[in-house]
Amino acid sequence: MAAKSNPVELGSQAPNFELPDGEGRPARLRDLAGSAGTLVIFICNHCPYVLHMRDALQRYALDYASRGIRVIAINPNDPIAYPQETPEHIAEVARHLSFPYLVDTDQKVAHAYDAACTPDPYLYDGQLHLYYHGQFDATRPGGPPATGADLRVATDRLLAGSPPSAALAASIGCSIKWKPGNAPKQ
């Protein structure tokens, strides 16, 4: 089911976390953060919206790494109801990525970020204050190839020292697959 990202206040501090990768190695936000900025993005292995943009996300990570921007991907989905979201499958996907892909088994980090969909990108500045929370780009599955145009514009503005744009298009993707009883209260 398609969902939109929830509005989040720009300037808010990134919730800290420690999560394992697909092979069980712990990783902490503070250790992975970039000097100029950090993209925390909720993704998964089966969502058509994520599959549509995953290669463009990899290009984004490679293009901005030398400029101090780090990418951290987090999978929040219930691996029992969706077996393609198990840590083993996350580890397999991570072998093809240049950035960490972490497992949010108890979904506490997704709750802390108020994440709603995959993909759900949060771009933070070098002090981990939210600079951008919106769509990766305007493409959708079955449409033109993803480029990350919206996120790239925001990242370039961040790196140029410009204030964040108030006009943000919500991210659209598959709803997070919450464990029974774990869905956020509406």
- In CATH terms, 2-175 corresponds, of 3.40.50.1000, 1.10.10.10, 3.30.300.180, 3.40.30.10, to 3.40.30.10
Query: Rounded to whole angstroms, how far apart are CA atoms 6 and 173?
Result: 12
**pLDDT tens-digit map of 84-108:** 999 999 999 999 999 999 999 999 9
Beta-carbon contacts of 13 under 8 Å, excluding residues fewer than 6 positions away, are: 128, 129, 130
Cβ 56 vs Cβ 156: under 8 Å:
no
Domain boundaries, the chain: 2-175
* Range 141-147, long-range pairs (CB < 8 A, 24+ positions): 141/48, 141/49, 141/51, 141/52, 143/52, 145/56, 146/52, 146/53, 146/55, 146/56, 146/57, 147/56
Rounded to 10°, the helix 48-65/149-160 angle is 30
**pLDDT tens-digit map of 59-75:** 999 999 999 999 999 99
Residue 47 has pLDDT above 90, yes or no: yes
Cβ 148 vs Cβ 136: under 8 Å:
yes
Beta-carbon contacts of 9 under 8 Å, excluding residues fewer than 6 positions away, are: 130
> Considering the chain, what percentage of its residues have pLDDT values greater than 90?
96
159 exposure class (CB count in 10 Å sphere: 0-12, 13-18, 19+): middle
pTM, two decimal places: 0.97
**pLDDT tens-digit map of 120-167:** 999 999 999 999 999 999 999 999 999 999 999 999 999 999 999 987
